[in-house]
Amino acid sequence: MINKKLFFAFCLSMIMAMGLLSFKLIKNDNSVKSHETVSAGLTLPEGFQAAIIADDLGSARHLVATPQGDIYIHLARAKNGKGILVFHVDGDKATLKSSFADFGGTGIAIKNGYLYASNSREVYRYKLDDKNEVINPDKPERIVKGLIDRRTHAPKAITLDNDGNLYVNIGAYTNICSEYDPNKTGCPILDSAGGIWQFKADKPDQTYKDGIRYAAGLRNVVGLAWNQQDNQLFVMQHGRDQLHNLFPNLYTVHQSTELPAECMFALKEGDNAGYPYVYYDWIQHKNMLGPEYGGDGKKLADPKYINPVAAYPGHYAPDGLLFYTGNQFPQKYKNGAFIAFHGSWNRAPEPQAGYCVVFQPFKDGKPDGNWEVFADGFAGTEEQKASGHAVHRPCGLAQGPDGSLYVTDDNKGTIYKITYKKQ
């Protein structure tokens, strides 16, 4: 015997499911743009091509390219005792030159004749010769030590400015600080985490007391870059998780899927981006008071916290940021930002998303206009993407000497080289 109410509700939801499905099919049809190319498994704008220049490297995180055509790739975990791989790239071919560094990690950068690389606690640097090759791979100089590492948001992404400073992300080792701030009197971990710290680029063995907290209230930053046009630090924050799970009365499953935004901030010394007290709602375009601190999805954040300069859908996980200064790509890309989105996990039970490289147009050193998906298809099939079991996950970005764009994948360890051919 079937209960009538149950049967009715069942039918209704079936009809709705069918409706939704057919809409989705129509939408998918529409979204196949005529001027897109598929190359090395990636979907790119017309005129662009991708090549896989290396594969199966392990967890390839950030990378950096030299004018001589080499790339240094940092692996999350050292493989056979080597955490940094050096390839020479010639066209679409990359040849392994050497490997060194007994530590894995994410951060890697070149500045003023040194290669900088970080693990979860420290930053090292290696002197480079005039060909930008590491002179003494076994004897790096330790620049920063003793940074906090509590597994969650542990990678210390790095970048450098033009005035001899090194910037290090120190992620908050928690989702939203609730376990450390049960009485909501203020998140106590922000004195040593949840921000960007500035150190001297050339002083050995600095610790917290030698650096300054350059910007506070940033949950976790993996993609960060110095913008040469307006001489400013730009960072991509990973927004908080679990709005619905923690506050089912305030946020629906769908809201929790799309919110909060993944944010791009342009930072000045002393800025506070408001974590864990605030989050940014990219649908309402407003900075909101977080529910842990009295917010209800409508109350606004204290205006003393800075607003993002651009915002992206929830949980996309921005892991790489690069300002494009090359001449190979069409003019519109010049000085704009590429963002590598690692892809979501916190959108379940709705389909996972992200897993793409986005282009954000810039004008005069500020985001200008809508972002667009530049390279997609890393995840594999729609099913692999929706389930979160993506095949490739974009992480690091670098610009080659000829203006090509390199993208790392930290799942399979694939390195892509994206080029543009004039029509």
Partner 1 sequence: MNIKLTGIFLASFILLFNALYAQNNKQPIRQTTTGTSIARGKVVYTNVCLPCHMADAGGVQNMNPPLIKTTYVLGNKTTLIKIVLRGFNEDVEINGQTYSNTMGAHDDLTDRQIADVLTYVRHSFGNKASTIKATEVAKVRAIYKK
Q: Which spans of this chain sit near partner 1 (rule: CB under 8 A)?
A: 3, 5-6, 9-10, 12-13, 16-17, 19-20, 23, 59, 76, 150-154, 173-175, 178-179, 241-242, 245, 248, 252-254, 345-346, 348-349, 387-389, 411
Nearer to partner 1, 105 or 211 (CB): 105
Query: In Å, what is the CA distance from 135 to each residue of 5, 160, 261?
Result: 76, 21, 43
**Strand ranges of the sheet holding 262-267, from the earlier edge strand across to the other edge:** 221-227, 232-237, 262-267, 310-312
CB of 68 to partner 1, least distance (A): 33
Which residue, 96 or 283, has its beta carbon nearer to partner 1? 283
Nearer to partner 1, 212 or 253 (CB): 253
Nearer to partner 1, 164 or 248 (CB): 248
Cβ proximity to partner 1, 9 vs 135, nearer residue: 9
The token pair that represents 418 in the structure block: 């994206």
- Shortest distance (Å) from residue 149 CB to partner 1: 10
Nearer to partner 1, 276 or 388 (CB): 388
Least separation in angstroms between CB 69 and partner 1: 31
Q: How far is the CB of 45 from partner 1 (least distance, A)?
A: 23
Query: Shortest approach of partner 1 to residue 147 CB, angstroms?
Result: 16
- Residue closer to partner 1 (CB basis): 3 or 249: 3
CB of 125 to partner 1, least distance (A): 26
User: Cβ distance 173 to 167 under 8 Å?
Assistant: no
Shortest Cβ distance from residue 52 to partner 1 (Å)? 20
Give me the residue label for tokens 């954000």: 360
